[in-house]
């Protein structure tokens, strides 16, 4: 299916285009701390030809360059690609779809995707494409959010939404927000897409998201969130106020220094191309 004809992809691209200029000041504090774990698990070193898929402002590519790797980045949101080029003029960034990569077969040693999976209409098409552009025995690495039971920050948001939001609202249908969160599923699906099931890597990592105020998490989700932001935008003012109050109250338990340190957990998945 082309991106243009997919409601979820259109929704994603329009949303990211709108929030891209705020990403560095908001979500990057949450997503970037996972990148060293991702690059280490994918064994990125000097000279590794790496493709950063769903690159956003290009943080994975940037971190790979600092290790001496040879990164390229791709994202389907033009504003993200502009930001990535501005941040890192030495790296090539292209506009393109993770599910239909505009690169030759066997072009990379590593394909990495930091928190892209939940934003794709068809994550498994992206797995196949990663496999196609990897050389034989090349490595694929991606991160996915752990379910709220394992991730205090995600649990705070999820519980407030569960308590007060109406989920029965019209939103474009995306993949499971917490999909691919167990090694069995990852091994089976990646195995079907050309990766060596026996060499699956699956690590669970927690990092603290440092936020300045108790209202910050709610405000980020409401103003700069994509999937959660769209859900919040369709709630009544009363429901929204109740969600905000519950999140702010729960965040208090994580006070540290001048702000709050909220633990978020993700899985770092790695696979080797057969």
Ligand X SMILES: C[S@@+](CC[C@H](N)C(=O)[O-])C[C@H]1O[C@@H](n2cnc3c(N)ncnc32)[C@H](O)[C@@H]1O
User: Which residues of this chain interact with ligand X, rule CB under 6 A?
Assistant: 9, 12, 16, 28, 31, 54-56, 59-60, 75-77, 80, 97-99, 114-116, 119-120
Closest chain position to ligand X (CB): 56
Label the pairing between strands 259-272 and 134-145.
antiparallel
Q: Of the two residues 30 and 160, which places its CB atom closer to ligand X in the complex?
A: 30
Cβ at position 176, least distance to ligand X in Å: 15
Q: Of the two residues 9 and 251, which places its CB atom closer to ligand X in the complex?
A: 9
By CB neighbour count within 10 A (0-12 exposed, 13-18 middle, 19+ buried), where does 114 fall? Answer: buried
Cβ at position 28, least distance to ligand X in Å: 6
Q: Of the two residues 12 and 248, which places its CB atom closer to ligand X in the complex?
A: 12
- H helix runs in the chain, sequence order: 7-23, 28-31, 35-41, 59-66, 78-87, 123-133, 152-164, 183-192, 216-224, 227-233, 237-251
Q: Of the two residues 116 and 153, which places its CB atom closer to ligand X in the complex?
A: 116
Q: Of the two residues 110 and 214, which places its CB atom closer to ligand X in the complex?
A: 110
Cβ at position 13, least distance to ligand X in Å: 7
Facing residues of 143 across strands? 114, 268
Task: Report residue 78 as tokens.
Answer: 């033009």
Cβ at position 20, least distance to ligand X in Å: 7
DSSP letters for 127-188: HHHHHHHEEEEEEEEEEEEPPGGG-HHHHHHHHHHHHH----S-----S-TT-S-SHHHHHH
């Amino acid at each position: 299916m082309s991106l243009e004809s997919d409601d979820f992809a259109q929704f994603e691209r329009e949303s990211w285009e709108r929030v891209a200029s705020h990403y560095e000041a908001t979500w990057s504090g949450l997503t970037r701390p996972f990148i060293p774990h991702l690059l280490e698990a994918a064994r990125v070193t000097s000279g590794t030809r790496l493709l950063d898929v769903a690159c956003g402002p290009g943080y994975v590519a940037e971190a790979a360059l600092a290790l001496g790797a040879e990164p390229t980045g791709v994202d389907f949101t033009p504003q993200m690609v502009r930001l990535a080029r501005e941040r890192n003029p030495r790296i090539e960034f292209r506009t393109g779809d993770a599910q239909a990569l505009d690169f030759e077969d066997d072009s990379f040693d590593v394909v990495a995707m930091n928190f892209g999976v939940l934003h794709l209409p068809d994550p498994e098409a992206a797995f196949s494409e990663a496999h196609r552009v990897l050389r034989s025995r090349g490595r694929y690495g991606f991160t996915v959010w752990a379910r709220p039971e394992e991730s205090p920050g995600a649990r705070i948001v999820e519980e407030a939404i569960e308590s007060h939001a109406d989920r029965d609202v019209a939103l474009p249908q995306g993949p499971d927000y917490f999909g691919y969160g167990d090694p069995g599923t990852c091994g089976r699906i990646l195995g079907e897409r050309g990766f060596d099931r026996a060499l699956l890597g699956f690590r669970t990592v927690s990092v603290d998201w440092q936020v300045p105020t108790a209202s910050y998490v709610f405000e980020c989700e409401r103003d700069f969130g994509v999937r959660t932001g769209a859900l919040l935008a369709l709630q009544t003012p009363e429901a929204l106020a109740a969600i905000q109050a519950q999140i702010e109250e729960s965040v208090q338990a994580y006070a540290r220094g001048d702000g709050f340190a909220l633990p978020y957990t993700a899985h770092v998945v790695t696979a080797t191309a057969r």
